[in-house]
Structure 1
Amino acid sequence: MRRVCVVTGAAGKLGSRICERLSADYNILGVYHQNLPSQFDSQLVQSFDPLTRETVQCKSLSLPYLIKADLKKADDQKRIVEVCLARFGKIDLLVNAAADIRFYGELKYTWSHLASVQDQLFLNAIAPVLLASSFVDYFWKKSAEQNRQFNRNIINVSSVSGLNVYPGFGQGFYSASKAALNYLTCHLASEYENIAIRANAICPVDFPGTIATEAVVDEIVRLDSSKESGKVFLLDEGGSRATN
């Protein structure tokens, strides 16, 4: 039976690659905010040769299923769960790949960018926890044995900026939001252990610069099949290693 994976940030360079690659083996529900992902085929975007239309129609059964949602809205988070359960009947993996990287600025100028700072902190640190909580409330909390059987888990895509301070880049609030996500991931693992839900975070260096986007996807696949929980992994040229 194919695993069911929910991916946020499906329109981003990482989220789109996760959806595209994992769709070969997983049923994918991709969540995007504004821009419709066009880097891969979905129920909304399909490319095909008219001469092989029948083959493409068969393929469409395993295409990523896209849903537009605002992760800052509780009703939209609930709708993500409802759509996923209605379409696939279960949720095995949540990959929080959505991120707000729009605000970079020195902290002394924060007062004039309050809304941007609040949005960044919310999307990067709070929204992943709220979405995981909605999964627990509507599906996972009464299914501990199935959760263990299907090795269900949460993977939060963080950043090396949540582990180190890089002066001169104006990353204060971005860094703080990712550091918060790292600690929240460890708390998720601790609190969800009694219902057999694992949680881990990945902190890649810049991609596709220092490392390839594919390396981040590889790490997601590795963690999904592992038994790791409560770990924060640095991912750089040397590979993946736990930082806690």
Structure 2
Amino acid sequence: MRPVCLLTGAGGLFGQAFVARCAAEYRIVAVHGRTPVNRASQNQTFVDPLNPGGRLALNDDPVHTIRADLSRADEIERVVDETLNEFGQVDLLINAAARRHWAPLLAPGAIASASEVFDVNLLAPLRMSVEVARRCWLADPAGNLAANRSVVQLSSTAGLYVYPDLGQALYGTSKAGLNHLTYHLASEFWDLGVRVNALAPDTFPGRVATQDVIDGVLDLARSDVTGRIVDLTADGG
């Protein structure tokens, strides 16, 4: 049976592309915010008005979609509850949800946005990883190893380098925190038989192709490494 992938940020650029490419490989729980997932769910099908009886690829391998506000701890608990009620397990957790409020720190409203940026970019991956580990992985280290279960964080090169005068202080700091959190989760989840890594791509699709980002996430998910931050830059690094 296909492994279960719990994916946050499924309504974003990476999430939509990942669902389109990987729905046949994983049973995907696609967690999104205001933007819906462009894929059929268990309770939804798409119809071509010009060919009502024809096949649409969007209806192949439907995903389980959940709308949630990941800045709230109770919403993360609800997501895990619904995932376990539907599938009973999580094999791969991809924390891809992000807030990108870019502005100089002295700009009006910049500091007011800090809580939301850190809640989604740092606290949500922390809460989701711990909740899944506690509910799904804590009691079965041998099974986790056998299934090669892991967490992949979608970070950014903004968490590795300072890009001056782009207003990335809050975003970059949140991603730097996510990178360091990845190291700590990898250490603490080691005894659970669960790997934790992060991919830090440059801007996509402008400087890095979205499909290259998906390749990087899948490479980490299929590997045997843990505690690694992979820098994915425009030159292929």
TM interval, short-chain normalised:
over 0.9
**By how many angstroms is 1:167 displaced?**
0.6
Query: Quick check: 1:207–1:213 contact (8 Å CA) kept in 2?
Result: yes
Give the Cα–Cα distance (whole angstroms) in 1 for the partners of residues 219 and 110 of structure 2: 38
**By how many angstroms is 1:2 displaced?**
0.4
**By how many angstroms is 1:44 displaced?**
5.1
Length-normalised TM-score, structure 2 = 0.92
Query: Following TM superposition, where does structure 1 have runs of at least 4 consecutive aligned residues deviating by more than 4 angstroms?
Result: none
Percent of paired sites with the same residue: 36
SS of the residue 1:35 aligns to? coil
SS of the residue 2:107 aligns to? helix
**By how many angstroms is 1:197 displaced?**
0.9
Give the Cα–Cα distance (whole angstroms) in 1 for the partners of residues 75 and 111 of structure 2: 24
Letter in 1 for 2:139: K
Tell whether 2:150 aligns with 1:148: no
Alignment equivalent of 1:231, drawn from 215, 218, 228 = 228
| 1:51 paired residue number | 53
Tell whether 2:96 aligns with 1:97: yes
| 2:62 paired residue number | 63
Matches within 5 A, 1:33-182: 33-38=33-38, 40-43=39-42, 45-48=44-47, 49-52=51-54, 62-101=61-100, 103-109=101-107, 112-182=109-179
Query: Quick check: 1:159–1:204 contact (8 Å CA) kept in 2?
Result: yes
Tell whether 2:178 aligns with 1:202: no
Length-normalised TM-score, structure 1 = 0.90
Give the Cα–Cα distance (whole angstroms) in 1 for the partners of residues 62 and 105 of structure 2: 43
Alpha-carbon RMSD across the aligned residues, in angstroms, is: 2.0
Aligned length: 234
Query: Quick check: 1:20–1:64 contact (8 Å CA) kept in 2?
Result: no
**By how many angstroms is 1:42 displaced?**
2.7
**By how many angstroms is 1:35 displaced?**
2.0
Structure 1, unaligned runs of 5 or more: none
Query: Quick check: 1:144–1:194 contact (8 Å CA) kept in 2?
Result: yes
**By how many angstroms is 1:45 displaced?**
4.6
Q: Deviations over 1:116-175 (max 9, x none)?
A: 111101111111010011101211111111111100000000001101111110111111
SS of the residue 2:106 aligns to? helix
Q: Deviations over 1:89-111 (max 9, x none)?
A: 2100000111000x22222337x
Give the Cα–Cα distance (whole angstroms) in 2 for the partners of residues 237 and 109 of structure 1: 30
Letter in 2 for 1:6: L
Query: Quick check: 1:44–1:66 contact (8 Å CA) kept in 2?
Result: no
Q: Higher helix proportion, which one?
A: 1
Give the Cα–Cα distance (whole angstroms) in 2 for the partners of residues 173 and 137 of structure 1: 29
SS of the residue 1:170 aligns to? coil
Give the Cα–Cα distance (whole angstroms) in 2 for the partners of residues 104 and 221 of structure 1: 28
SS of the residue 1:106 aligns to? coil
**By how many angstroms is 1:52 displaced?**
4.6
Query: Quick check: 2:30–2:37 contact (8 Å CA) kept in 1?
Result: no
